[in-house]
Structure 1
Amino acid sequence: MNTIIVSIIVFGVLIFVHEFGHFITAKLCGIKVNEFSMGFGPGIFSVKKGETLYSIRMLPLGGYVRMEGEDEKTQDPRAFSNKPVPARMAVIIAGPLMNLVLAVILIAIIGFFAGVPTTKVTVMPGSPADISGIKDGDVILTVDDRKVGSWDEAVNLISQRPNQTLKVEVLRDGRKMAFNVKTSVDPDTKRGIIGIKTVITRYSLLESLKSGIQKTLWVSSMIFASIPQLIGGKGVADLVGPLGIVHLVGEAAKVGVFNVLYLTAFISINLGLINLLPIPAMDGSRLVFLVVEFLRGKPVDPEKEGLIHFIGFALLMILMCFVLYRDFVRLYM
């Protein structure tokens, strides 16, 4: 029961933040919003305030902001289709952007209370780092001439080079120093290690916010790097749907609230970036049509665009059913 409650909260926050981005930007651009919905299907609860209907629907797998003139022609000057292209682009981008902002905020909250790992290190006696000359309090600047902006980046670069010699540049008492460090191998993960630990900074608002931005950008880069593999068929087995996410949320909840927050941030980054891909029915596809309209000076036929989005949505639903089935088999059979 706790897993279900926490999962509903996580899904609800992700959906609300995304749709709120579309909603508030549409309002700021003077676009008439007919409905703000959490969920799809039959309505459970609704209330109308002003010109907008706010509703909660039965299927909590998404949401939508229904704007005047979004998928049809109309003479209303406040309709989405009658606004300038830059305004419509802003409305479309705002949803995914809010997911990335949410991730930054959640990671910053974790950093503020749990602490932010820095690139200042303590060294384990007798470790490769100690033998090379790195000392407690040194701040890692680069690894093999690649600038390191966070502890995660440093660990990632070192872990990819087991049993190899790395050039590690550090800052010590205002002076830059470089050391050649021979990595050893972690017996459990088989990844490279040099025997250093991070110094944690707690209750620093600035450092926490900086960490939120850095980790969001770092995770985003990892996701972008994995897209070509996914298109090529590699990594498809790792895709998870709502059931899989509920399972992950339940496992995270057993460990603690910070794990739930970090998982929510990770899902939010994925949701934001995937929505920006040029996949029919996604925000990225709508952006492509707006770019085409801007370049050719007139919009694409709304019926043709609507058909493409409909086909894309249908294919996404088929994929969702497949992933749901696989999650069910993997988790419960």
Structure 2
Amino acid sequence: MTIIVAILLFGLIVFIHELGHFLFAKINGVKVHEFAIGMGPKLFSIKKDTEYSIRLLPLGGFVSMEGEDEESKSPRSFGEKSILQRASIIFAGPFFNIVFTIILFIPIFMFIGAQTTTLGNVIENGPAYDAGVKSGDFIEAIDGKKVDTWQDIILSLNNSDGSEVKLSIDRNGEDKEITVTPEKNDEGRYVIGIETKVERSIFSSIKNAFVTTWDMTKQMVIFLGQLVTGTVPGGVSNSVTGPLGVINIVSEAAKVGIINVMYIGAVISLNLGIINLVPLPALDGGRLLMLLIEAIRGGRKIDPNKEAMINIVGLSALMLFMVFITYKDILRLF
């Protein structure tokens, strides 16, 4: 049952991505030949102006557009649209994944509550308690640096390495500055004995959904930079997982509960969106790069055959990498 949940979630995330391409293609008057979820042989299809199909392997999907990879003079051809129109169609897939991530995070924070920078509890005889920090205090900044989330507070305290920190606090509308010396806990982190006040409201959940998505995006960009430079802790092959690994992760999450599945789904959706924006051939980012080059050339189009060849080479390299990662996934599973 958990495997089915994993496959359905993966299929939904792919569907959201392809839906972005599909809707913006329709908005911009591009003819879509096929909107497919999955790869390989067709299991089911229905034909209207566009053929809508479900294919055997739930590991991808595609939107096949007129003039996308070949020359076409049809007014409904992808290649006949403006650079901005084509860019919007390509960008829509990753953008929909990022939006879907935010949408998934909102009910998650509604359920578990959103951590705030207001203190719910100050532990007796802890560093903060002894310094005069009180429950209900709103922490605005640490050492003059503004904090927006509870994670910012944790990070700032941990980075102190036990040195004094100055808390800028709002207490019932009155600004205060309190100096506290963090102490190391059993886990090796520096803390001052404070706990967050958890809020359950639609507004705080929406705010936290955006903040969390942004923070995770920054972490992903750093990780991608480490991939390029080969400085990923533990090595690339141990830090990257393919579809089999993803399905296994979701299956394990499904055993715990729906909130875990939604959280993993949000992470996967964001991963798919950000990775697709990397400017490599066969990815959406690579196609956006081609459009940028076209714009720099004053609107002179790159030869479609050459562009198609570049995409084929990029796709082949991507598939080889996927085979390698899938092999590593199998080794990890067994």
Coarse TM-score class (shorter-chain normalised): over 0.9
How far did 1:59 drift? Answer: 1.6
Contact 1:103 1:269 in 2 (8 A): yes
Aligned-residue Cα RMSD (Å) equals: 1.4
Contact 1:281 1:312 in 2 (8 A): yes
Unaligned runs of 5+ in 1: none
Instruction: Give the equivalent residue in structure 2 for 1:314.
Output: 316
SS in 2 for 1:125: coil
Instruction: Give the equivalent residue in structure 1 for 2:174.
Output: 175
* TM-score under structure 1 length normalisation: 0.94
Contact 1:161 1:191 in 2 (8 A): no
Instruction: Give the equivalent residue in structure 2 for 1:262.
Output: 263
How far did 1:61 drift? Answer: 1.2
Contact 1:252 1:259 in 2 (8 A): yes
How far did 1:69 drift? Answer: 0.6
Q: Does 73-82 or 124-133 show the bigger shift?
A: 124-133
Q: Distance in 1 between matches of 2:165 and 2:305?
A: 58
How far did 1:211 drift? Answer: 1.1
Number of aligned positions between the proteins = 328
Q: Does 249-258 or 268-277 show the bigger shift?
A: 249-258
Contact 2:21 2:90 in 1 (8 A): yes
Instruction: Give the equivalent residue in structure 2 for 1:250.
Output: 251
SS in 1 for 2:221: helix
Shift in CA distance, 244/191, structure 1 to aligned 2, threshold 3 Å: farther
Contact 2:10 2:247 in 1 (8 A): no
Q: Distance in 1 between matches of 2:77 and 2:290?
A: 17
- Which letter does structure 1 place at the counterpart of 2:162? N
Contact 1:160 1:191 in 2 (8 A): no
Deviations 1:262-318 (A, max 9, x none): 111111111111100101100000000001111112111111111111111111111
Q: Distance in 2 between matches of 1:103 and 1:155?
A: 24
Shift in CA distance, 258/45, structure 1 to aligned 2, threshold 3 Å: same
Deviations 1:77-96 (A, max 9, x none): 11110001001111111110
Contact 1:48 1:54 in 2 (8 A): yes
Q: Distance in 2 between matches of 1:93 and 1:168?
A: 42
- Where does 1:62-77 land on structure 2 (aligned, <5 Å)? 62-77=60-75
Shift in CA distance, 239/160, structure 1 to aligned 2, threshold 3 Å: farther
Q: Distance in 1 between matches of 2:316 and 2:108?
A: 38
Instruction: Give the equivalent residue in structure 1 for 2:215.
Output: 218
- Where does 1:71-110 land on structure 2 (aligned, <5 Å)? 71-110=69-108
How far did 1:164 drift? Answer: 2.9
* TM-score under structure 2 length normalisation: 0.94
Unaligned runs of 5+ in 2: none
Q: Does 191-200 or 17-26 show the bigger shift?
A: 191-200
Q: Distance in 2 between matches of 1:14 and 1:156?
A: 31
Deviations 1:167-203 (A, max 9, x none): 2222211122222222222323x2222222111111x
Shift in CA distance, 151/275, structure 1 to aligned 2, threshold 3 Å: same
What percentage of residue pairs aligned between the two structures are identical?
Answer: 43
Deviations 1:216-268 (A, max 9, x none): 01111111122222212232121111222122212222222111111111111
Shift in CA distance, 310/290, structure 1 to aligned 2, threshold 3 Å: same
SS in 2 for 1:210: helix
SS in 2 for 1:61: strand
How far did 1:119 drift? Answer: 1.2
SS in 2 for 1:208: helix
Q: Distance in 1 between matches of 2:166 and 2:280?
A: 42
Q: Distance in 2 between matches of 1:241 and 1:157?
A: 34
Q: Distance in 2 between matches of 1:176 and 1:284?
A: 47
Q: Distance in 2 between matches of 1:146 and 1:270?
A: 29
Instruction: Give the equivalent residue in structure 2 for 1:28.
Output: 27
Q: Distance in 2 between matches of 1:141 and 1:43?
A: 56
Contact 2:141 2:168 in 1 (8 A): yes
Instruction: Give the equivalent residue in structure 1 for 2:56.
Output: 58
Instruction: Give the equivalent residue in structure 2 for 1:130.
Output: 129
